[in-house]
Amino acid sequence: MRQFALDRLDVEPGRVIRWRLASTAAERACEGDAERRQASFNQVKHFSTIEESRRAGEPFASWLALTFEIEGQLDRAALESAFLSLARRHEVLRCEFQRLAGDLSAATYPADEVRLEAEDVGDFGSAEELRAFLSASFRQETDALVWPLYTMGAVVREDGPTTVYLAFDHIVADGISMLNVVHEIQVAYAALRRGEEPHLPEVGSYAEFAHEQRRRFASLHVDDPCLDGWRSFAERGGGFFPRFPLDLGVDPDSMYPPVHESALLLGARDAEALDLRCREAGGRMFMGLLAGVAVSLRDLGGPETYRALMPVSERGGGALRNSLGWYVNTLPIEFAVTGFPSFPHGPDLSDLARLLGDVRESFTATMENLQVPFVRAWELLAPQHFIARSWPFPVNFFSYIDTRKGPGSEHHPRWKPVLHVWSSATNGTNSWFVRDAEGLHIDSIYAHTPQARATMASLQHVLGETLLAMAAADVPVRV
């Protein structure tokens, strides 16, 4: 699976059919028909941010979308049934979020009374018109404050293939959820088209996960020992949030239109070589990537100590692995690169082993904070920033996912799944690193300023050179 901006999607013109989830209970406002639970800390913060931005007249929005292809002439009934199966299997897709006595609750409508309403939107004669429609549709139909919280559809062509799309407000899904969605829809559609019942794995409930998380950590207090890791990270770095260390030319009190850029950092052979080199040095691929980012930032004028926030999945094992939801905790990571040689000048394996040893030690330490929800730690340890609608300044952020480990990834070359993320505004930069069968990619959203463009271009160039040197491409590999 790739990740890049929707406006880069290579999509052929076709006829668009759109589906929306509907609920008899929601239409009747029958609260007694819905099971009500507390929302997660992530969901509460996200919902509050949307509310507050609209009250301030500066509406903020974001979405995650997925596009992929199904082969052959479309079986419309089978696809519609696959979409409905998805909604019935995953409680979070049937949740409506509401304020009750100041708190945010999730009302889950019963699986057996939700349905789909289809609309034949019409024909689109060019890729540009189609992308513009999808972009507008995703903004209008994914709203944390308005149920349903996602939309789905298909671009149908007489001679195939069909491009399927789904777009979600972040409140109900994360990036790994998209891997589960594409696999589940493809498996269900193929079975239903054959007239068979789909055989899909058991799924856990994010609504239950969220409710239990709130129950466990609602009474957490600022002096609780489980916050010691976060507290020491903030004390060493001079604050709860680690700053992005290079100049982006932004005013910390302003939000900016986003620039969205993507690039291939390493081809498949070089990515495999880097993976092997990291394992030879006693680490893992993501540790080598973290080390490469840290050294690149330092070589561009950043500090000798790398400090960042890193999203980590909370799914664990069992049925939650297959479910949809916002299973993301954000953890602090910190390690030094003092005295370490710049990679383009030829580090040897012992240099890399020492650095990856420090990264591994830091990662092991930071995982001890996994049980504490990031939003709760933020609220308790940085209350002056918690009330704001965004992070206080450009924050150093690192995210990595190997999509080859997702269900059905062996079929991705045929399915052509792409994750698209969008945000209406930013005051800094976020970069996601994604590995697939083609190699290692970077997808960045950052503030639209001349300095930010120059800084991010320099970082991408230096990082690419650094990772190539780390990969030691002359090492024999199997691809």
Task: List, for residues 73-92, the tens digit of each pLDDT value.
Answer: 999 999 999 999 999 999 99
CA–CA distance, 354 with 364 (Å, rounded to integer) = 15
pLDDT at 57: 87
Could you check whether 2-212 and 220-402+424-471 share the same CATH topology? Answer: yes
Residue 33's pLDDT band, with cuts at 50, 70 and 90, is: low
Residues β-bridged to residue 182: none
Residue 474's pLDDT band, with cuts at 50, 70 and 90, is: very low
Residue 22 has pLDDT above 70, yes or no: yes
What tokens appear for 334 in the block?
């910190």
pLDDT at 349: 83
Residue 102's pLDDT band, with cuts at 50, 70 and 90, is: confident
pLDDT at 152: 98
Residue 346 has pLDDT above 60, yes or no: no
pTM of the model: 0.94
pLDDT at 347: 58
Over residues 281-302, mean pLDDT: 96
pLDDT at 159: 87
Q: In the chain, what are the domain boundaries?
A: 2-212, 220-402+424-471
Residue 472's pLDDT band, with cuts at 50, 70 and 90, is: confident
pLDDT digits (tens, 9 = 90+) for 321-332: 999 999 999 999
Give the CA dihedral 205, 63, 451, 463, nearest 10 degrees: 50
Fold of the CATH domain 2-212 = Chloramphenicol Acetyltransferase (3.30.559)
Question: Can you point out the beta strands (E) in 239-367?
Answer: 258-267, 305-313, 328-336
Provide DSSP, 140-191.
Answer: HH-BTTBSS-EEEEEEE-TTSPEEEEEEEEGGG--HHHHHHHHHHHHHHHHH
Lowest mean pLDDT among 8-17, 386-395, 413-422: 386-395
CA–CA distance, 411 with 406 (Å, rounded to integer) = 10
DSSP character for 411? Answer: G
When the candidates are 3.30.559.30, 3.40.47.10, 3.40.50.720, 3.40.50.510, the CATH number that belongs to 220-402+424-471 is 3.30.559.30
pLDDT at 100: 85
Helix (H) / strand (E) element for 193: namely helix 175-193
